[in-house]
Chain A
Amino acid sequence: MDSSTVRLILLIIHILFFIYAFSVIFSYVFLSFISALESSQYIKRNSFVNYNEILSSTVSPSISIIAPAYNESLNIIENVRSLLSSHYVNYDVIIVNDGSKDDSLEKLIKAYDLVKVNYLINYQVPTKPLRQGVFKSTNPAFEKLIVVDKENGGKADALNCGLNISQSKYVACIDVDCLLLEDSLQKMIKPFLELTDVKVIASGGVIRIANACEIKEGKLININLPSKFIEIAQILEYLRSFLLGRMAWSRLNGLLVISGAFGMFDKKIAIEVGGYNTKTVGEDMEIIVRMRRRMEEENIKYKVAYIPDPLCWTEAPDNYKILISQRNRWTRGTIEVLKIHRKIGFNPKYRLLGMLSYPYWFFYERLAPIIEVIGILYFIVLIALDNVRWDYALAFFLSAYLFTIMFTIIAIFSEELTYHQYTKKGTGFKLLLVTLLEPFVLHPFILYAAIKGNIDYYFNKKIKWGEMTRKGLSKTES
């Protein structure tokens, strides 16, 4: 290869990098605009909605909250209490004890006066067998509670068990440690009942970080900003993701994922597609893609709705080890789901799903960390060859950095103009400070986790969920 060929190849690589970076920036700007539009309309539309009538109505549809629990003994009593405190009338709570090795079941039996009952299960989705069986409370105050004890099969398997147990029309699948606000169910069910021209198959909620928040008897009392950098940085990440990204995708009806921490489904459709896939760690994304795929194939007009209200609060990792493990799993989940459903990618038969949502996830979620690392390595090679025009490089780095900062600030604005949750003095300054540092401090860890996720996916198939040690939200109880 002569030097002119090498130069040509390098030029093509440079152009490809440039196009990629430009398209990322363009897509973020585009999504920000769409999200601003959707947020403003959502707030207007819901400013005079009276939820009381739906709450008390006997004809309002039934909802089952399904919460899988594995070794959650530390907080299980409090968590269940929080789930039982919804203001919605027609609902029940199904706790699936997924073969816990600790004393979760014993604690539940004692705290909620549970007894084993004869419960006929319609096994519509295959799951691991029951261990001790199904329990209900003898105390009328907890009549909405059902506890199922089964052999360990993972989160997806436990959710499938819940789908089999549920008698309701809709199911809200949540992480047991999530704290739901009392009006969560009526807000999540609204799109299912409200839209007449399309079939709503699922609705997803915003997940907020509850670290440092004050919680009393399973209720959120006071919203505080955590003190650790890693926690604040995740708050910014979540604001970007939920208030800008997903809001915009919801407007485009292109949402490919609703968080496994809190999502509501039309049970009939969820069962018809076979329930959760137990062979992936991205089961929350996979079920949505499968449901959407089915709707597209059957040519049914449908929507995956999204509720931006801060309804579900959860504990985020407060150390880098757990954060890396969590993001590693997210990466593997994304790779698996995109691989399972590769048929829809760039396939015009699947319209927006195949031509926009899938390609977006493929290029900007699946490939982004790999492209970033290639870019870094290439830059190192250029430095080694003393072939860097530093003034050019500085210009590009600076613009990329400033764009990142601006995008995060827009996410903070979006939060301030809509829900304004962090009201305390000094919070804005802290958020801005972390905004400036996040690309240098948190991002390298996120990138490392994503690359490790890729490596684990291809070379270490045995890894499944990874650990998530919980301190428990009740630690801040007053």
Chain B
Amino acid sequence: MNNSQSVLEYFMQLPTLVKAVWLISIVLFILILGLILYLKILRIYLRKNEKEQIKYQKIYEENLINYLYAGDDVNEISEEQQLFINKTKIEILNTFNRKVLISVMSKLVNDISGEIAVSIHKFYYETGLINYSLKKIKARKWEIIASGIDELTQFEVKQAHNKIEKLIKHPHKEVRNQAQLYLVNLFQFQGLNFLNNLEYQLSEWNQIQLLEILQKFDNQEITNISNWLKSNNISVVMFALKLAKVYNQFESKDALLDLLKHPNEEIRVQTIDVLSYFFDTECKEYLKSNFNNSSKSEQIAFLKLLENTGDASDENFILENINHPNFKIKLASLKILKEINPTKFNNLEISESDTASKRIVEFINNN
């Protein structure tokens, strides 16, 4: 009693700052003890959770495979299958079970196709998992909405189209991305209609994803991309240019030629690249006349076009550029010269000090 009283007295006579520091130390000490205890519990929980997850994943994988082989007809559900569906309906009331089951099913549908995939989609409907996903897209938290769309995409729920189409303008980027992926995965080119009045920028990441999804499907009816090439949204134009190249949209050539005058440099460069891919010669004269006013990237892109389409009529233009200070322009010009007039190329006189040209000529001669 006396000891604690004297400690208290000692403490009370300390300067305020030192008192505060002692108090902070005590608080920190208690916090650390709490954190250590919590860390112990957390690690136990995580380990247990991981084990449980692996255990249930195995169980669900086996059950799902049994379910798939228990039916003879994709369109009908056998008695054995119905029993499993009923059992699953109860199990998925538990969030953990539901999450594990969805992850197992997602993995399966990604790895397989055909009738088995259809059976899994059917299972998704019959067990009522679809309702959980539909409920998710009405949630307030963006990550729940996005995960709901992701599930509806994986299990190809086309009837959610109207609801998801509305989410294409969602303020959160991830939700918009997932909505775009849903539309294109399920409706291919038709799903791209959201591009008609897209207000946000479509990232290159998304453009690549959408293109890859489209390429998974054969025999699609390809939408006329000319309107997208004329879009006010730069990212839509960039995406349309990619589509033009991948799907050989040569019929959009007029729109492409117009894009050579687009105010955005990246679009102009990309357009030249697409025209180069089409071996277009119509744009040559315009690009030649505008060459000196173009950016380096455009000049290099144009010379790549000439590597495909150059002929004798381009010789004078090429000769003007073989001494260009830019290495890439010089290289492309010399390459083209060799193609269109090998004699002139072989008789080129290069000064001793022009080491870059000498290296390039030597390189071209050896390749």
Contacts and interface: CB of A to CB of B under 8 A. Distances in A.
B327 A122 contact: yes
Contacts of A425: 47
B93 interface: no
B39 A413 contact: yes
A409 B39 contact: yes
B36 interface: yes
A392 B18 contact: yes
A475 interface: no
Given A54-B208, A122-B328, A412 B25 contact: no
Contact of B39 (A196, A396, A398, A416): A416
Contact of B43 (A61, A197, A428): A428
A146 to B, nearest CB: 16
A402 to B, nearest CB: 4
A420 interface: yes
B205 A54 contact: yes
Contacts of A391: 14, 18
Contacts of A392: 18
A196 B203 CA distance: 6
Given A48-B147, A399-B28, A413-B39, A193 B46 contact: no
A120 interface: yes
B133 to A, nearest CB: 12
Contacts of A396: 21
Interface string B142-158: 01001100100000000
Interface string A178-203: 00000000000010011111000000
Nearest to B38: A413
Interface in A72-97: none
Given A413-B42, A428-B43, A402 B205 contact: no
Interface in A375-396: 391-392, 395-396
B39 A59 contact: no
Contact of B212 (A44, A57, A61, A190): A57
Contacts of A60: 208
Residue from A195, A396, A399, A409 having most chain B Cβ neighbours under 10 A: A399
Nearest to A403: B28
A365 B30 CA distance: 30
Interface in A398-439: 398-399, 402-403, 405-406, 409-410, 412-413, 416-417, 420, 423, 425, 428, 432
A195 B177 CA distance: 13
Contacts of B29: 402
A47 interface: yes
A44 B150 CA distance: 13
Interface residues on B, range: 35 or more
Contact of A402 (B32, B40, B42, B331): B32
Contact of B25 (A59, A61, A399, A416): A399
Contact of B208 (A45, A53, A124, A405): A53
B366 A118 contact: yes
A50 interface: yes
Contacts of B18: 391-392, 395
A56 interface: yes
B25 A48 contact: no
B24 interface: yes
Given A59-B246, A194-B205, A416 B46 contact: yes
A118 B367 contact: yes
Contacts of A428: 39-40, 43
A61 B204 CA distance: 10
A434 to B, nearest CB: 13
Contact of A53 (B32, B35, B212, B246): B212
Interface residues of A, number: 43
B52 interface: no
A434 B193 CA distance: 58
Contact of A47 (B40, B42, B143, B212): B143
B209 interface: yes
A196 B43 CA distance: 39
A10 B110 CA distance: 70
Contact of A432 (B24, B39, B246, B359): B39
Contacts of A423: 46-47, 50
A405 B32 contact: yes
Given A190-B205, A428-B40, A48 B46 contact: no
B39 A56 contact: no
Given A405-B32, A406-B32, A409-B35, A44 B143 contact: yes
A392 B360 CA distance: 75
B14 to A, nearest CB: 8
A48 B246 contact: no
B27 to A, nearest CB: 9
B208 A57 contact: yes
Nearest to A122: B327
B337 to A, nearest CB: 16
B50 A53 contact: no
A232 B359 CA distance: 52
B322 to A, nearest CB: 15
Contact of A118 (B147, B328, B331, B363): B363
Contacts of A193: 203-205, 208
A118 B31 CA distance: 65
A186 to B, nearest CB: 10
B21 A45 contact: no
Given A48-B147, A118-B367, A409-B36, 20 more contacts: A44-B174, A48-B150, A50-B181, A53-B212, A56-B212, A57-B212, A59-B246, A61-B204, A120-B331, A120-B360, A122-B328, A193-B208, A195-B203, A196-B200, A196-B203, A395-B22, A399-B28, A405-B28, A406-B31, A412-B39
Name the 4 nearest CB pairs between A and B, nearest first: A196-B201, A53-B212, A402-B28, A193-B205
8 contacts: A53-B209, A53-B212, A118-B367, A196-B202, A399-B22, A406-B35, A409-B36, A428-B43
